Amino acid sequence: MAPQRRLMAVHAHPDDESSKGAATTAKYSDESAEVLIVTCTGGERGDVLNPTFTGDYKGLEAMRELRQREMAQAREALGVSQVWLGFVDSGLPEGDPLPPLPAGSFAAGDLATEVPELVRLVRSFRPHVMTTYDPMGGYPHPDHIRTHQISVAAYILAAHPDYRPDLGEAWSVLKLYYNHDFSIARSLALHEAMLDAGLESPFGPWIDRRNEHPILERHATTRIDVDPWRNRRDAALRAHASQIDPGGFFFAVPRELESQVWPWEEFELASTRVPASIPEVDLFAGIDPEASDAELQAAAAGEGEPPIAGYEDTESAIDFLLPAGIEPDNTTTN
Ligand SMILES: [Zn+2]
């Protein structure tokens, strides 16, 4: 029997795991990989976004409890395990000028204390593959950017035997990916298909906003065919009843049309410690299915420090992150 493979998907808020790479996690779980969702914050500062949702949830504590209940249903729908990192949602700052981030929140916190929490988890779960967001957070929510930062740092540091041996034995994650489910390519493809079918597209205003505030579009390298797992993703989305309007954006595209036009979830291979050939259709491609963990770790250790996509201009990611033992960095909240 082939050794079991493990996938860790790191997300900022409860509901992100259901809108980004959700069907992929359900697929790998069904294919007998062990899948662990890591949720960095409790979603405490999320607003109720579903106009049909009733109930009064005022205050961080009430919101956290509500979202824990929703998350429990979502992970059941996806068939995955899930853990909380325990940081507090920073909220999406709005206004001009932007208000400061709330004291004690995830994005305002100290990387030097946040990163070890994820390193500890990486060293205990020992994922072969890890997913996170791109350096801009996928979209520039401060918690999403911070999620990227701690994921990249943990990917590098968990592999270093000299870094915090008290957090567990070193583990080299073999491949690191960025989620790309909100690409302009996907939005445009679905938008045009909706119009061609004589339907109202939900993407119009969204595409306009993207054009007004261009975000550097990164390239997907990896397309996972997830069509059979769409229902599981939808069930997970619906589990987040306070956040997702069943009559809204996430359910506006008829599923048959989605199957025809865009039956994939996309990722960018951000870093790898195994030989990879692009494009790919499997997050575990290049990882010898028969190799034991010890064999894979020994091979990865010989690869040296892998480059990380988005840090091409820095000498190496390790130099970028390590000189002062990870400097607190609050400069990326825009
Ligand atoms: Zn989020």
pLDDT digits (tens, 9 = 90+) for 34-70: 999 999 999 999 888 888 888 888 889 999 999 999 9
Query: Which amino acids are annotated as binding site, given as ranges?
Result: 13, 16, 144
Q: Is residue 202 part of a domain?
A: no
Alpha helix positions (H), the chain? 16-19, 22-30, 60-78, 111-125, 142-157, 184-196, 204-212, 230-239, 255-261, 293-301, 317-321
Query: Which amino acids are annotated as binding site for Zn(2+), given as ranges?
Result: 13, 16, 144
**Residue 20 Cα, ligand 1 centroid: separation in angstroms?**
10
What range does the domain containing 258 cover? Answer: 6-182+219-321
Q: Is residue 102 part of a domain?
A: yes
Q: Is residue 100 part of a domain?
A: yes
Residue 137 is part of a domain; what is its CATH number? 3.40.50.10320
**Residue 34 Cα, ligand 1 centroid: separation in angstroms?**
23
Peptide bond into 97 cis (omega under 30): yes
Rounded to 5 degrees, what are φ and ψ at 267? -140, 160
**Residue 331 Cα, ligand 1 centroid: separation in angstroms?**
19
**Residue 104 Cα, ligand 1 centroid: separation in angstroms?**
18
**Residue 16 Cα, ligand 1 centroid: separation in angstroms?**
5
**Residue 170 Cα, ligand 1 centroid: separation in angstroms?**
29
Given a cut of 50, is residue 223 above it in pLDDT? yes
**Residue 259 Cα, ligand 1 centroid: separation in angstroms?**
25
How many domains is the chain partitioned into structurally?
A: 1
- Give the pLDDT confidence score for residue 330 in this predicted structure: 34
Q: Is residue 189 part of a domain?
A: no
Q: Is residue 240 part of a domain?
A: yes
Distance of CA 259 to the CA centre of its chain: 23
**Residue 252 Cα, ligand 1 centroid: separation in angstroms?**
20
Give pTM, 2 decimals: 0.93
Q: How far apart are CA 76 and CA 79, in angstroms?
A: 5
Q: How confident is the model at residue 319 (pLDDT cuts 50, 70, 90)?
A: low
Radius of gyration of the chain (CA): 19
**Residue 280 Cα, ligand 1 centroid: separation in angstroms?**
26
Q: Is residue 213 part of a domain?
A: no
**Residue 84 Cα, ligand 1 centroid: separation in angstroms?**
14
- What is the tens place of the pLDDT at every residue in 118-169? 999 999 999 999 999 998 887 779 999 999 999 999 999 999 998 899 999 9
CA dihedral 303, 305, 306, 309 (to 10 degrees): 180
Strands 81-87, 6-11: pairing kind: unpaired
Q: How far apart are CA 173 and CA 156, in angstroms?
A: 9
Q: Is residue 196 part of a domain?
A: no
Given a cut of 60, is residue 325 above it in pLDDT? no
DSSP assignments along 48-60, one per residue: P--TT------SH
Answer with the residue of higher pLDDT: 334 or 310: 310
Q: Is residue 327 part of a domain?
A: no
Given a cut of 80, is residue 82 above it in pLDDT? yes
- What is the tens place of the pLDDT at every residue in 276-308? 999 999 999 999 999 999 999 999 987 677 889
- What is the tens place of the pLDDT at every residue in 202-218? 888 888 887 887 667 78
Burial 139-153 (b: 16+ CB within 10 A, else e): eebbbbbbbbbbbbb
- CB atoms under 10 Å from CB of 250, counted, come to 19
- Give the pLDDT confidence score for residue 324 in this predicted structure: 45
